[in-house]
Amino acid sequence: MSGALYIISAPSGAGKTSLVSQLIELDSHIVVSVSSTTRPMRTGEQNGVNYHFLTVEEFEVKIAENDFLEHAKVFDNYYGTSKSSVEEQLRKGKDVILEIDYQGAQQVRKIMPEATSIFILPPSKEELKRRLTGRGTDSEEVIAKRLAESMNEMSHYDEFDYLVINNHFQTALEELHSIFKSGRLLKTAQVNQHQNLIQQLLES
């Protein structure tokens, strides 16, 4: 049995992280891909749990070997999703989530076009701003910049297969989970999992 690959993207403030955290608690067949990075490990982080921490040289070797489904350089540090790591989880029958932005999603689709993509939207611009300002620690300038970045991210919603509106958290979580459950009922997934049964049923 093999799992399926899912891309989940959202603007900052849409609640993606909370939804995904609850989703993997709810369904043991779903895992989140652990990204690779060259940034230093922070206090409390664990290699292989928070990130796969690599040297710049190790990361660039993997780029040369085409081992990244997507990667980018942000503030002098590399970040990326290892293709071999994802494929290993898929072979174990896990549904794998990539939490990446629309640019990363564009890269992944070129390599694995069978990936299912989901975009999470906030219920309104006012609610999005409220969530972005909820911390109470950021300046108006920082908040304005985050809001502008979120608007740019949201403009790419139509590149995705599914849309989930995170108005009521529990409803959004159920809708998100239903996408994964329905994916397992696709003919290709069912045939893959129940080949022996189908052969037996069709024997004359």
SS (H, E, C) 43-61: CCCCECCCEEECCHHHHHH
Q: Model confidence over 16-65: pLDDT tens digits?
A: 999 999 999 999 999 999 999 999 999 999 999 999 999 999 999 999 99
d(CA 84, CA 66): 10
Q: What's the pLDDT at 133?
A: 86
Provide the pairing of β-strand 116-121 with 5-9. parallel
Q: What is the pTM of this model?
A: 0.89
Is residue 1 pLDDT above 70, yes or no?
Answer: no
Buried b (16+ CB within 10 A) or exposed e, 50-75: ebbbbeeeebeebeeeebbbbbeeee
Domain ranges of the chain: 5-202
State the CATH architecture for 5-202. Answer: 3-Layer(aba) Sandwich (3.40)
Note whether 34 and 20 are within 8 A (CB).
Answer: no
Q: What's the pLDDT at 135?
A: 65
pLDDT, mean of residues 88-92: 94
pLDDT band for position 132 (50/70/90)? confident
pLDDT band for position 81 (50/70/90)? very high
d(CA 76, CA 168): 38
